[in-house]
Amino acid sequence: MLNPDGVYLGNYRCSLMGFDLNRHWQDPSPWAHPTLHAVKQLIVQMNQDPSVSLEFYIDVHSHSTMLNGFMYGNVFEDEERAQRQAVFPRLLCQNAPDFSFSNTSFNRDKVKAGTGRRFLGGLLDDTSYCYTLEVSFYGYMTAGGAAPVPYSEEIYMKLGRNVARTFLDYYKLNNLIKDNRPINIHSTDGMSHTGKGKSGISIGVGRDMGDKKKDKNQSFGH
């Protein structure tokens, strides 16, 4: 939680001092943006540690206009790297019926240059993946539904569990873990798939460099 003072006051985007924290990653102030400054330092230190591979950065935001859950990702000149960016959202779409891949987009808009996703996408190497997971304030559309279904705390938590499940599927896909998932871990149901389709939580997932080197020889599919 990178915006505790703002959220305490009821803000969803701005800190106590009125800063949109997800626009100040390029040069955060230790005085004005202390949480951002500390997290950025930590990530830079991890990235410089040869024994650590920081693979995923995901910040989680609410969205005030669009429906469903969806992701923003980065655009790269290297086509193979760009294609690999789509793997995790596609897997998440399979696991989370309220997640919309059609609302998911990959961009490098100048106005988003100060976001964590954009800044860290340029800082970390091509084995790292940086996303923003957006989730509607309001609800999600079911297949064939005439009206959105309101989100509840329980359904938000289901989406979180499905994100965790997608990490498991991602590493299975790349032969980095065995298929030994406990039988009680499964995709949450109660929602139908959809084509319809800000606070801050950062999730870092890493592994050691031995696995990182092995990963370079793995292929990534859609």
Active-site positions read: 134
- Tokens (6 digits) for 78: 């290297």
Residues 185, 87, 220, 180, Cα dihedral to 10°: 0
> E strands of 36-152, at which residues?
53-63, 69-74, 105-107, 129-136, 139-140, 149-150
Q: What is the DSSP letter of 110?
A: G
Residue whose token pair is 């202390």: 34
- Tokens (6 digits) for 158: 């289901």
Comparing CA positions, the residue from 150, 132, 133 lying closest to residue 141 is 150
How would you class 177 by CB atoms within 10 Å of its CB: exposed for 0-12, middle for 13-18, buried for 19 or more? Answer: middle
